Amino acid sequence: MMPNLDFDAVLWDFGGVILSSPFEAFNDLEAARGLPRDTIRRINAANPDSNAWARFERSEIDLAGFDEAFAAEAEAVGARLRGRDVIAVIHGAVRPAMVEALDRVRRHYRTACLTNNVNDNGAGAAYAAEVGAVMQRFDAVIESRRVGVRKPDPRFYEMACEILQLDPRRAVYLDDLGINLKPAKAMGMHTIKVTGADQALAELEAVLGLTLR
């Protein structure tokens, strides 16, 4: 198959795309604590630009600060849950099929990882090495914790385009959150909402004209 020459780059979210979704782990934690399903997502959706999660992803507070701030936000909705408890379960599993697809895409297109993430040293050395090996495959990595900006701020996507010297209209972007896809689409990117690895790869294959599995 011949690659689609209408595109120069493929941009990837990390958690929920290359990694399995953290929301599954959040639901498991909620069930274990007797909390309503999606409690954590509702807390993180309130005041999305200034809540504990947003500030942690921009490195405006450290883990201790997040632990306290998230606990207060949880308490406000009647939930007893510390920020450290949430961070402890956030590490999704690497999806081998997505890594294989990334390797195949790299043969024809530039790539970048656009990820909202946090300063967290609790993942363990083996997991950190596994994630690091995937990160090294990208031509560029834009991390909210390092640049002080997070999705869906349009500036985050603009940074990626500047680093890759990329016209956004010639990019494909994959993310598992619709709110993070909207700015990319407004800039002219072709967007794919990831609900699972098979679905995402089928759509990406159709767009690029490549076999990725």
In contact, 192 and 203? CB cutoff 8 Å: yes
* Nearest alpha carbon to residue 181 among 163, 193, 199: 193
Domain assignment of residue 73, given as a range: 23-87
Q: Flag whether 49 is in a domain.
A: yes
- Give every CB contact of residue 187 below 8 A, 6+ residues apart in sequence: 154, 157, 158, 161, 168, 169
* CATH, residue 118: 3.40.50.1000
Residue 121 has what pLDDT?
A: 64
Question: Does 83 lie in the same domain as 121?
Answer: no
* CATH, residue 41: 1.10.150
Question: Does 197 lie in the same domain as 96?
Answer: yes
- How far apart (Å, rounded) are the C-alpha atoms in residues 104 and 212? 6
Q: Flag whether 123 is in a domain.
A: yes
Domain count, the chain: 2
Question: Does 27 lie in the same domain as 128?
Answer: no
Question: Does 76 lie in the same domain as 113?
Answer: no
Q: Flag whether 4 is in a domain.
A: no
Question: Does 104 lie in the same domain as 79?
Answer: no
Q: Flag whether 51 is in a domain.
A: yes
Residue 5 has what pLDDT?
A: 94
pLDDT along the chain (213 residues), means of 10: 92 96 93 96 94 96 96 96 94 95 98 92 82 97 96 97 97 97 98 97 98 96
Residue 119 has what pLDDT?
A: 83
Q: What is the rounded end-to-end Cα distance, in angstroms, of the chain?
A: 13
Question: Does 98 lie in the same domain as 48?
Answer: no
Q: Which of 87, 111, 129 is the last residue of a domain?
A: 87
Question: Does 73 lie in the same domain as 140?
Answer: no
For the record, the structure tokens of 113 come out as 């990882």
Question: Does 164 lie in the same domain as 78?
Answer: no
Q: Which of 87, 115, 143 is the last residue of a domain?
A: 87
Q: Flag whether 213 is in a domain.
A: no
Question: Does 103 lie in the same domain as 185?
Answer: yes
Q: Flag whether 1 is in a domain.
A: no
Residue 98: in which H helix or E strand, if any? helix 96-106
For the record, the structure tokens of 43 come out as 């807390």
Give me the sheet containing 171-175, strands edge to edge.
140-143, 110-115, 9-12, 171-175, 190-193
Residue 120 has what pLDDT?
A: 72
- How far apart (Å, rounded) are the C-alpha atoms in residues 138 and 77? 40
Cis upstream peptide for 152 (omega within 30°): yes
Residue 125 has what pLDDT?
A: 85
Q: Flag whether 153 is in a domain.
A: yes
Question: Does 31 lie in the same domain as 112?
Answer: no
- How far apart (Å, rounded) are the C-alpha atoms in residues 211 and 205? 6
- How far apart (Å, rounded) are the C-alpha atoms in residues 175 and 177? 6
Question: Does 143 lie in the same domain as 75?
Answer: no
Residue 173 has what pLDDT?
A: 98
- How far apart (Å, rounded) are the C-alpha atoms in residues 131 and 63? 20
Question: Does 116 lie in the same domain as 164?
Answer: yes
Q: Which of 87, 110, 134 is the last residue of a domain?
A: 87
